[in-house]
Amino acid sequence: MQSEVMFAGFGGQGILLIGKILAYAAMEEGFEVAWIPSYGPEMRGGTAYCTVVISDRPIGSPIIKNPLHLVAMNRPSLEKFSNIVRPDGVVLINTSLIPIGSGRNDVSELKVPAVEIATELGNVKAANIVALAAFVARTGLVSTETLKKCVKQEFAKKPKVIDLNMKALEEGIRAAS
């Protein structure tokens, strides 16, 4: 069984980071994982995306043409990638920045106003964690407990933001329910 998640958004939205946290969490749960970034000039200010592959056996091709899921944090990402998601996948739409839907009726849309939720918590930067938590809660790719542990670990060197991100995580889980 293999799942692939594409995370996409603006550079600076913390896209690569939430991909990495998910990969870490899946590794903690004993899965084989690979995190594949986009790199190069596109890292500078434009669209950032990465793919996380989670599998119960060694991962062959790290190049994923059709991921199972998509976490779209901005409109260009949704427009660019919604069509490549496999049927029955989850498409998370950050409705704070995306006023449109995926246009697909064979995927499960998860609409989360991630930016508003994070702003209410006091820092817009936590929108990525809100989205990640919502996505994990909906898909169950890893347990929310493992996710919490990994978010804490990720911010271990910045204790000031741990609280904020733990709250973002809770709110994200709530938004998915």
Partner 1 sequence: MAKVLMKGNEAIAEAAIRAGCLNYFAYPITPQSEVAEYLCWRMPEVNGVFLQGESEVAVAYMIFGAAAAGARVFTTSSSPGISLMSEGISYLAGAQCPAVFVNIMRGGPGLGGILPSQADYLQATKGIGHGDCRMLVMAPATVQEAAEMVMKAFPLAEKYRNPVMILGDGLIGQMMEPVEFPDDLKSEPTNKDEWATNGMDHRKSKTRNLVRSLFLDPVVLNNNNLVLKEKYEKMKDEILFESYNTEKDYRILIVSYGTMSRVCRTAVDMLADEGIHVGLIRPQTLFPFPEEAICKAVTSSGCKLVLSIEMSMGQMLEDVQRSVLGACPVEWYGKCGGEVPTPEEIIDLIKARMASL
Query: Does the CA dihedral 158-115-141-8 come out positive or negative?
Result: negative
**CA distance linking residue 160 with residue 49, whole number of Å:** 27
Nearest approach, Cβ of residue 43 and partner 1 (Å): 10
**36 versus 78: smaller Cβ distance to partner 1:** 36
Among 10, 11, 29, 32, which residue interacts with partner 1 (rule: CB under 8 A)?
32
Work out the angle at residue 153's Cα, subtended by the Cα atoms of residues 148 and 158, and round it to the nearest 5 degrees. Answer: 115
Distance CA 24, CA 133 (A): 14
Q: Binding of partner 1 at residue 35 (CB under 8 A)?
A: yes
The answer to whether 20 contacts partner 1 (rule: CB under 8 A) is yes
Asked if 11 touches partner 1 (CB under 8 A), the answer is no
3-state secondary structure of 72: strand
151 binds partner 1 (CB under 8 A): no
Nearer Cβ to partner 1 (50/112)? 50
Among 5, 15, 23, 112, binds partner 1 (CB under 8 A): 23
Q: Is 81 in the site for partner 1 (CB under 8 A)?
A: no
**What residues from 47 to 76 belong to the interface with partner 1 (CB under 8 A)?**
59-63, 65
**Cβ atoms 89, 69 nearer than 8 A:** yes
Ramachandran sector of residue 166 (left: φ over 0; alpha: ψ -120 to 50; beta: rest):
alpha
Could you tell me where the beta strands, DSSP code E, fall in 11-114? 32-37, 47-55, 69-72, 90-94, 108-112
Chosen residue from 6, 14, 24, 176 binding partner 1 by CB under 8 A = 24
CB-count exposure of residue 5 (10 Å: 0-12, 13-18, 19+): buried
- Number of residues engaging partner 1 in binding (CB under 8 A): 19
Task: Examine residue 39 and tell whether it contacts partner 1 (CB under 8 A).
Answer: yes
Nearer to partner 1, 32 or 170 (CB): 32
Interaction of residue 122 with partner 1, rule CB under 8 A? no
Contacts with partner 1 by CB under 8 A lie at: 20, 23-24, 27, 32-37, 39-41, 59-63, 65
